[in-house]
Chains A and B, each alone.
Chain A
């Protein structure tokens, strides 16, 4: 079964500082990985995805993530935090059922990003 673990339920950074949100995955097959952002009272918006092309993936709003197979990680970074980045961030991995095909995503427990002025 596929799973993701997000280290740190809350991360606090100063405005202008580096943002680093951690995600480690477990998968019996080559994984497809995603990062989503959820603003208060809204749905989930795709930030970026890794689908086995480039290991460094660039997304929207200045975010990027690097797939590291040796570390089973897919950490999300942004060089300079902005107040508008305050939100909940979810790492997700494609789930595969016993028949072998894909069926939706399995999500991590989320990381709440707080931006200090």
Chain B
């Protein structure tokens, strides 16, 4: 029983294409996130969603659009892919709502390695 699952695990595509990454959590959490990990392993938050509502968009280009059909799913759609989008994208969830105390950990999926050629 994978708590946070992402598909696909690997995604290779050409510049200019549009692609999506799917994320599902079965932990019953209200809050989900997208993080980007670059080639130097640096992790940066992209989006946070609280019960299907976008809370924070951390200066991410509007080519990236998260979609949350229900609180267990948070998909990431990327338009007009660029070389610089190549990275590992992680979905995460938390039992704590945005605006809470901050003492709950994040639970991460195994990541999607996106390669843009």
Contact = CB atoms under 8 A, between A and B. Distances in A.
B66 interface: no
List 5 A-B pairs, minimum CB-CB distance, nearest first: A101-B99, A102-B102, A94-B102, A43-B108, A51-B103
B99 A99 contact: yes
A104 interface: yes
A74 interface: no
B61 interface: no
Interface residues of A, number: 31
**B interface residue count range (under 10 / 10 to 19 / 20 to 34 / 35 or more):** 20 to 34
Interface string B61-75: 000000000000000
Q: A-side binding surface: helix, strand, loop or mixed? A: strand
A11 to B, nearest CB: 14
Contacts, number: 76
Interface stretch (A60-68, A77-85, A105-113): A105-113
Interface of B: 4, 33, 40-45, 48, 55-56, 90, 92, 94, 96, 98-103, 105-111, 113
B11 to A, nearest CB: 14
Contact of A42 (B4, B101, B110): B110
Most buried by A among B92, B100, B102: B102
Contact of B41 (A43, A51, A88): A88
A117 B105 CA distance: 33
